[in-house]
A and B are shown apart, each in its own frame.
Chain A
Amino acid sequence: MELERDETIERVAQTLAVLPPRDAQAVSRVMTAVHAHKAQRPSRLTLVMEWMRQPSFSVASAGALAAAALVLGFFSRGAFGNAGSDQSARSTLEGQPTGEFPIPAGAVLPASNSHEVRALPVSLVFDARNATSVVVVGDFNGWDDSKTPMVRYGKDGPWTATVLAKPGRHVYAFLVDGTTLVADPRAPRTKDLDYGGDASVLMVTPP
């Protein structure tokens, strides 16, 4: 042990050395950031093409050789072979058009002060007199049928539950008696493009 690492320093080190637990969500956020960054970065092809578009004035032989080396290096790295990873990069060759939906000049909206949009409580009501159990499933609870059981109002009343959902569009349904998925008759419908049939839509309004 180093002379400087006496009992006090050892204790400090132990205090600071506690590792945070593994966090799948945090890892997920990192991967999303990495891939978002990658999608914005111009590919080497773009950089070379941008360079070649520059007006060349007195191109010194050294400069020409350097350009040739760049292109050769580009080919030898097999960049054209990396089709999978460069798909997103290739589309950046098209630039960043807003094209058919231009926004009015100077109309950029101000940033929000709050860092996070909060989920809001929303009450759902469902009439199913003969049901023995009803559960809400939807994108706001990950379609997990263990999360939001409904409660009967009185002996024969409707089933109710409160879900937390952020402002915006949500899709959901009711699972009756653990077997039958039923759309909400009170809610707007939308076609389920993945699994067929209809789905119920909940539009949550901000306060």
Chain B
Amino acid sequence: MNFMRRCSTAAALVVAVASTAAAQQQDVRLTLIRDDATREVVRQQLGGALSRGVPMEPLMAKALEGVAKRASTKSIKAAMARLEENWHRAAKALAPNPTDDELSAGADALQQKVPESALRSLRKLAPGRSIALEIGVLTQLVARNVEPGQASKMVLELMARKATGTQLTALSSAVQEDVEAGLAPAMALDLRGRGIMSLLPPPSAVSTLNPRSTPRP
């Protein structure tokens, strides 16, 4: 019947247009890589990684970063492989159900040599909300040469004392400035960390919650 034929055509058209759009969006990003050899290597890395459970976005971004920085094909391939490995490690450390933002932050953190056990502790401390920010603060402290164990302990303690995101990023900025001014990283962290702690309620005043917190949506 005419009506049914119209319905089928409309449905097929919607699917075809949408599929083409999605495929075209993927193709466009690869065509930003002008070098044929690099583009092919990136395409293969993306395909393999997707089958192993790593989303394409961060890997594509890592590849394009390498292109922007005029890195060799070999460097780009190695960087993508490292990211994939760190992604898997972050997925385990931040289980269950980490968000993509947490996974990106976790992979960066691991690359900067933040210990996996620190990520696990961050997750245990805050199982019900995003900890991408806290991971980022920890990563930046370690990137500025604060010893990873010391940085991890400080961030965890501040989090447990309910320091806000603003306070944590302020810590990172302040330590950064102190280190650039010549202060030893360990001393800068200790000073600035204690400064924030003095503004927070003491540990005994922190409400003890049932460890079985609400599962994340």
A127 within 8 A of B: no
A206 at the interface (CB under 8 A from B): yes
* In the complex, chain A residues whose CB is within 8 Å of the CB of B215: 111
Q: Which of A20-28, A45-53, A54-62, A66-74 contacts B (4 or more CB under 8 A)?
A: A20-28
A103/B11 in contact, CB under 8 A: no
- Tell whether, in the assembled complex, residue B208 and residue A111 are in contact, meaning their CB atoms are under 8 Å apart: no
Q: Residues of A contacting B79 with CB < 8 Å?
A: 194-195
In the complex, are the beta carbons of A21 and B15 less than 8 A apart?
yes
Q: How large is the interface on A (under 10, 10 to 19, 20 to 34, 35 or more residues)?
A: 35 or more
Taking CB atoms, residues of chain A closer than 8 Å to B194 are none
Contacts of B120 in A (CB 8 A): 96-98, 101
A interface vs B, CB < 8 Å?
Answer: 7, 10-11, 14-15, 17-25, 27-29, 31-36, 39-40, 88, 91, 96-112, 115, 117, 137, 139, 142-146, 166-171, 173, 175, 181, 188, 190-197, 201, 203-206
A40 / chain B contacts, CB cutoff of 8 Å: 92, 95-96
- The residues in B between 139 and 159 inclusive whose CB is less than 8 angstroms from any CB of A are 139-140, 143-144, 149, 152-153, 156, 159
Count how many chain B residues have C-beta atoms less than 8 Å from C-beta atoms of the other chain: 102
The answer for the CA separation of A112 and B68 in the assembled complex, in Å, is 37
Known: A168-B101, A201-B140. 17 other contacts (CB 8 A): A21-B18, A22-B19, A22-B22, A36-B98, A99-B117, A101-B121, A101-B152, A106-B208, A108-B213, A109-B209, A144-B29, A167-B165, A169-B139, A181-B69, A194-B79, A201-B143, A205-B166
A118 to chain B minimum Cβ distance, whole angstroms, is 11
Question: Which of chain A's residues has its CB closest to B117's CB?
Answer: A99
| Chain A residues with CB below 8 A from B140, complex form | 169, 188, 190, 201, 203
Residue from A98, A115, A190 within 8 A of B143 (CB atoms): A190
Q: Are A39 and B91 within 8 A (Cβ)? A: yes
Inter-chain contact B96/A36, CB cutoff 8 Å = yes
The stretch among B37-45, B58-66, B183-191 that forms the contact with chain A is B58-66
Using CB atoms, name the residue of chain B closest to A179: B70
B132 contacts which of A110, A168, A197 (Cβ < 8 Å)?
Answer: A168
Residue in chain B with minimal CB distance to A117: B130
Task: Please measure, in the bound complex, the distance between the C-alpha atom of A91 and the C-alpha atom of B70, giving whole angstroms.
Answer: 37
A-B pairs, 10 with minimum CB distance? A111-B128, A21-B18, A35-B53, A169-B136, A106-B208, A112-B129, A168-B136, A143-B64, A28-B55, A194-B79
Residue of A nearest to B19 (CB): A22
B117 touches A195 (CB 8 A): no
Chain A residues lying within 8 Å of B143, measured Cβ to Cβ, are 190-191, 201
* Set B97, B101, B126: member contacting A108, Cβ < 8 A: B126
Do A101 and B156 touch (CB < 8 A)?
Answer: yes
Which residue of chain A lies nearest to B212 when distances are taken between CB atoms in the complex? Answer: A108
Q: Which residues of A contact B112 (CB under 8 A)?
A: 193
Query: Cβ of A27: which chain B residues have Cβ within 8 Å of it?
Result: 50
Given A19-B15, A22-B18, residue A110 in contact with residue B213 (CB < 8 A) = yes
Contact A139–B61 (Cβ < 8 Å): yes
Give, as a whole number of angstroms, the nearest-CB distance from A46 to chain B.
Answer: 15
Which chain B residues lie closer than 8 Å to A10 at the CB level? 4
**Interface residues in B169-217 (C-beta closer than 8 Å to A):** 169-170, 172-173, 176, 203, 206, 208-211, 213-217
